[in-house]
């Protein structure tokens, strides 16, 4: 079964998403970029509120959009976010000459880091293999751009499938995100990642607008069904209009 990761920006959204059936609550600020980070005080506050009502529901948080060349800044942010009461710390990995070194640094930290391989320009298979080999608790594949293109516009399904299998082979949780919506539901089901991440598809009017608990519940239920049904199509058009995740 694929779990639904709901990206939220506030305590109100976090609790609403949890009540609606999101299995993993992801803290980020969508107005600040693909992996825009929330202030540490907000992360602490939201995590505490979630723990009070959903003691075992996993929580992740992003560190913000930082280029993989700036390793010192990334390490400092990971340490701070990891101490803010979350289970997982998500870090975007941009391809480049220092990406391998960045992964090595992240693997040495005392935090449950989930490297997020940003695939807009493609991802070096060697970089993915290196990430999978380092013993991270999870590996995700996402996009930086929120321009209407999805993860599947940048990486074909077969390639993604091979990367997910590689991550699993090394014991990592594997996940996908990147402007995913109802149009990608069949592909998500075929790949069957451990986690599928959404923002825009869960919102009233695009990723910067308010989260809609009804959309969270409907998409969570759809992810758990093994095959396409008329109920999926009944919701697909309004949800798809907001699928800038």
Residues serving a catalytic function are: 28, 90
Name beta bridge partners: 10.
Answer: none
Got the DSSP string for the chain? -PEEEEEESSHHHHHHHHHHT-SEEEE--GGG-TTPPPPHHHHHHHHHHHHHH-TT--EEEE-----TT-HHHHHHHHHHHHTTT-SEEEEEE--STTHHHHHHHHHTSSS-EEEEEE-TT---HHHHHHHHHTT-SEEEEE-S--SS--HHHHS-HHHHHHHHHHHHHTT-EEEE-SS--GGGHHHHHHH--SEEEESGGGBSSSTTS-B-HHHHHHHHHHHHSSS--HHHHHHHHHHHTT---
């Amino acid at each position: 079964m694929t779990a639904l990761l709901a990206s939220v920006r506030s305590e109100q959204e976090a609790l609403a998403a949890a009540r609606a059936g999101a299995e993993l609550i992801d803290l980020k600020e969508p107005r600040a970029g693909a992996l825009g980070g929330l202030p540490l005080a907000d992360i602490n506050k939201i995590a505490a509120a979630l723990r009070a009502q959903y003691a075992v529901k996993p929580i992740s948080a992003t560190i913000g959009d930082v280029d993989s060349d700036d390793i010192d800044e990334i390490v400092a942010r990971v340490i701070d976010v990891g101490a803010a009461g979350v289970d997982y710390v998500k870090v975007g990995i941009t391809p480049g000459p220092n990406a391998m070194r960045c992964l090595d640094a992240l693997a040495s930290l005392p935090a449950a880091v989930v490297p997020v391989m940003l695939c807009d320009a493609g991802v070096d298979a060697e970089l993915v293999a290196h990430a999978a080999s380092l013993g991270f608790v999870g590996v995700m594949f996402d996009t930086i751009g929120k321009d209407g293109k999805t993860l599947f516009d940048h990486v074909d399904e077969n390639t993604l499938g091979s990367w997910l299998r590689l991550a699993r082979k090394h014991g990592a949780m594997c996940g996908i995100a990147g402007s995913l919506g109802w149009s990608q539901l069949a592909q998500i089901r075929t790949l069957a990642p451990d986690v599928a991440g959404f923002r825009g598809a869960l919102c009233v009017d695009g990723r910067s607008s308010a989260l809609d608990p009804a959309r969270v519940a409907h998409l969570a239920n759809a992810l758990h069904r093994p095959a396409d049904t008329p109920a999926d199509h009944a919701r697909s058009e309004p949800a798809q209009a907001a699928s800038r995740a």
